[in-house]
Structure 1
Amino acid sequence: MSQVPTTHHDHLLLADTPNAAGWARRHTRDVLERWQAPPGLIDTVLLVVSELVGNAVRHPTGTKQPERLTSSQLAKVQLIGLDLQLRGRAVLVQVADRDARPPVRQEADTEAESGRGLFLVEHMSDQWGYYHPSAGGKVVWAETSPDPMAHRRPATAETPPLANRAGRPQPFKPMFDEQLAADDPNLMGRVLVGLRGI
């Protein structure tokens, strides 16, 4: 990734609940419109954000979360970090979660209703990857420009497989629940974002 200076930066913490991807899309649209990003780029970034946050919500057990959480389940909810950076004409999206396992692209047939997330991210982004921050978990990132296909190199036999895509685009320190200050004035807002869908 080129060392393009970051001109705008935004970070949001989301509750790891089924409505996280929807809130991430709303927030991303607001931020990118404020940054006056082109409409086509906004649409592409919204798709990337939706897929990356949706993958972060899927828990290691592989079981789907219920649509409504009980108060005891809500007390155990983790946080997902969404980081947006405008770098020149490109937008860098980074999504941090607690699961350290690398992202795995699934082979989905034409009738499948899910399983194409990382395939879409790969094809809608100039480049993408993941890394393991010192705080634990992982950060999956994707950089998208107004015309991602213009910068893409054709796939060859030497193209590295997904398992070798580890790489860090730029230092990013994801915040997780135990790093939140008790007197954080935005804490209640973030809690309400997670509760709104319940």
Structure 2
Amino acid sequence: MQKVPTVPHSHLKLADTPNAAGWARLHTRDVLGRWQVPSDLIDSILLVLSELVTNAIQHPNDAKQPERLTSAVLSKVQLIGLDLQLRGPTVLVQVTDNDTRPPAPKTVGTDAERGRGLFLVEHMSSRWGYYHPPNGGKTVWAEVRPGTTAPRPRTATAREPSNRAGRPRPCEPITDEHLPVDDPHLMGRVLVALRQI
């Protein structure tokens, strides 16, 4: 009898509280270390993961996260799912939440400290997208592989065909002409904001 090869896989459920991104990073670093993923790729994956989890913990009304967790706040807590899969040299990161709205890139000014998450996901992953799982909500996914952390040219019309089986579908790509990439201080402000997460 022949064994069917299995894909290394990890799943974690987290409360959608402000500390979810930190717990997700700790879990991911541990799992990827056990899978012997190269450290530079782990750093890229952690950046993508942080953005996806941070987007998932934003409540539907985009209200600011509370500074203190009271019983009233905890009664509204929902779960988000983190799924990691190792597919050869590629790591698939999937984050599931209860909000059905698709991820939407924001147009932000050069001085803004927030709102560039999907821009980073776009440029740090080989491809990304979202789908609506059968049990509701949405799953946003990104594939990160060695050599895909540099910005790649994208066109506004580049699309992959949708998949009727409910597998990941790519989102509309972000076009570079709407992004303030000529600002030499932009990446510095983004990194400072990420360190504060």
Shorter-chain TM-score category? 0.7 to 0.9
Gap change, CA 1:126 and 1:66, over 3 Å in 2: same
Distance 2:52 2:163 in 1: 15
Distance 2:33 2:11 in 1: 15
- 2:119 matched residue in structure 1: 119
Distance 1:51 1:165 in 2: 25
Deviation at 1:69, TM superposition (A): 1.3
What SS does structure 1 have at the residue aligned with 2:48?
helix
Structure 1 stretch displaced more, 36-45 or 58-67: 58-67
Structure 1 stretch displaced more, 62-71 or 85-94: 62-71
- 2:36 matched residue in structure 1: 36
Residue 113 of structure 2 aligns with an amino acid whose one-letter code is: E
Moved over 6 A (4+): 164-167
Residue 134 of structure 2 aligns with an amino acid whose one-letter code is: S
Deviation at 1:75, TM superposition (A): 2.3
Residue 17 of structure 1 aligns with an amino acid whose one-letter code is: T
Whether the 8 Å CA contact 2:123–2:152 is kept in 1: the answer is: no
- Aligned sequence identity (%): 67
Deviations 1:100-129 (A, max 9, x none): 000000112221100000000000000000
Distance 2:10 2:127 in 1: 20
Figure out how many residues of one structure are paired with residues of the other and give that number: 163
Deviation at 1:67, TM superposition (A): 1.9
TM-score (norm: length of structure 1): 0.76
Residue 7 of structure 1 aligns with an amino acid whose one-letter code is: V
Deviation at 1:145, TM superposition (A): 0.3
Deviation at 1:6, TM superposition (A): 5.7
Gaps of 5+ in 2: 170-197
Deviation at 1:159, TM superposition (A): 1.9
